[in-house]
Amino acid sequence: MITPVLLCGGSGTRLWPLSRKSYPKQFTALTGEQSLFQASALRLSGEGYAPPLVLTNADFRFIVTEQLAAAGVEPGAILIEPEGRNTAPAVLAAALWLEQSDPEALMLVAPSDHMVPDEAAFREAVGAGVGAAHEGRLVTFGIHPTRPETGYGYLELDGAPGDGPPETLPLRRFVEKPNAVRAGEMLAAGNYLWNAGIFLFSVRAILDAFRAHAPDLIASVSEALKTARPDLGFLRLAPESWSRVSDISIDYAVMERTENLAVVPFAVGWSDLGDWNSVWRESPRDETGVALSGAATAIDCEDTLLRSEGERLELVGLGLRNIVAVAMPDAVLVADASRAQDVKQVVAALKAKQAPAAERFPRDHRPWGWFESLALGDRFQVKRIVVHPGAALSLQSHHHRSEHWIVVQGTARVTVDDKVSLVSENESVYVPLGAVHRMENPGKLPMVLIEVQTGSYLGEDDIIRYEDVYARG
């Protein structure tokens, strides 16, 4: 039995504006109906796999549970990292957690934002590495390169891998991301693979590797797990201990220093969807190389990606060549495809000018549903709010604003001070400034309402919570 360990942090800045710090790419449906995170969880489920162990941060915890439930995957555990510390501490925490129940267990560590179209072939590749992992080797998975890619690290083998069924081969060394010339040389040499960042090993083997090559991480991560606090269905690693953990990747901390390495080459499709060029490559394209998504139209365009993410936002490209254009309700990216790797510079520039679109997604996800701002003025804001069936907002009040709620779909159970009432479609209720109030959806379908706020301050931090079923502060 293999326990999948899904790493579910990161901000995906190279896929801005669709991927942002508040809602990164793993939770979006980039190339299909499911999000990348859901596809990853399903790919590593079923026969031979234990329920997944997920590592994420507090901001994403309810998104994780909501998307897993929608995909029909029950997690084994969800560990909450107080702050991002890269992949080495996350993998170590997962191994220490699994050691409590089965030190000999196999763990398959995988990012949750990759695309693998041929799931059967991937499972076959994982199966090919099981024997080596049971023998105590640290197994990684390498992708046959199809182009001189400069955005990936590489794995060097002693010789060129064959074209037969997947097998475990010796790994000579890890290679950093190359420049274009060196990437071309490695592609021509034939004995290099892309580093997919996917690993298979036993709990005992990876803990031995940490003790040998990164012993400084063990005390703080162990203490963070030992003093972790259960929170609803999550386990929060202790913040104080976790803050002392070094920020380092599993490659640097362990893999590049150990000798008991093996690699399974994988040749049947893979992408980390790390930039808009990779999304274009993995999207359906017409005979001119144009990929369209959403309300997008191309006229006399070639090798271009046009993607509209707005319900009523029509994106039209005219006479474009090698262009990426992505339109969101609050931001639009237009870039030369050759600069796709540099989109993170856009995020840095927007952060420098304190533009909200740099990191905040226009749709703000909450454990009970989501909301988005439709209009914003000096003393008013209009929101659309969607509440999941059976969900409830916290019992709360505000210092600086009053609210008017108009239900446009479903029925809301509304508490205002000591009065509880049902508010149906086309009905409204007023919440005076300072009133203690709550909104619930007692129905079996999503409930939608329009909220009109008025007051001197409309920030999300103007909330005093008295009760909250989601245990938020």
- Domains of the chain (ranges, CATH numbers): 2-266 (3.90.550.10), 283-352 (no CATH), 367-467 (2.60.120.10)
- Find out whether 402 and 455 touch, Cβ atoms under 8 Å: yes
**What three-state secondary structure class fits 349?**
helix
pLDDT class of 164 with cuts at 50, 70, 90: confident
Q: What is the pLDDT of residues 427-472, one digit of tens each?
A: 999 999 999 999 999 999 999 999 999 999 999 899 999 999 887 7
Count of residues for the chain?
Answer: 473
**Quick check: helix, strand or coil at residue 52?**
coil
Mean pLDDT of the chain: 94
CB 199 within 8 A of CB 125: no
Give the angle subtended at the CA of 36 by the CAs of 34 and 38, to the nearest 5°. Answer: 60
User: Is the pLDDT score of 188 beyond 90?
Assistant: yes
3-state secondary structure of 441: coil
Looking at residue 469, its pLDDT comes to 86
Quick one: pLDDT band at residue 473, thresholds 50, 70, 90?
low
pLDDT exceeding 70 applies to what percent of the chain? Answer: 100
Distance CA 454, CA 401 (A): 5
Residue tagged 């245990």 (tokens): 471
pLDDT for 45:
93
Query: Which pLDDT score is estimated for 312?
Result: 87
Q: Rounded to the nearest 5°, which phi and psi values hold at 469?
A: -70, -15
- Of the candidates 25, 166, 4, the one whose C-alpha atom is nearest the C-alpha of residue 94 is 4
The percent of residues in the chain predicted with pLDDT above 90, rounded, is 86
Q: What is the mean pLDDT of residues 354-366?
A: 92
What DSSP designation does 449 have? E
C-alpha torsion 385→389→390→395, nearest 10? 0
* Region 108-133 average pLDDT: 93
> How much is the average pLDDT of 138-152?
92
Rg over alpha carbons for the chain, rounded to the nearest Å, is: 24
Instruction: Evaluate if residue 267 carries a pLDDT over 90.
Output: no
Q: Is 189 helix (H, G, I), strand (E, B) or coil?
A: helix
How many Å apart are CA 200 and CA 92, to the nearest integer? Answer: 13
Mean pLDDT of 131-140: 96
pLDDT surpassing 90 at residue 319: yes
pLDDT at 135: 95
Is residue 421 a contact partner of residue 429, using CB atoms and an 8 Å limit?
Answer: yes
202: Cβ contacts below 8 Å, ≥ 6 apart: 104, 105, 106, 107, 133, 134, 136
Which has the closest alpha carbon to 67: 473, 390, 388, 441?
388
Report pLDDT for 165. Answer: 84
- pTM metric for this prediction: 0.89
What per-residue confidence (pLDDT) applies to 287? 97
Averaged pLDDT for residues 336-352 = 95
- Which of these, 185, 130, 189, lies nearest to 157 by C-alpha position? 189
d(CA 465, CA 330): 29
For residue 76, what pLDDT is reported?
93
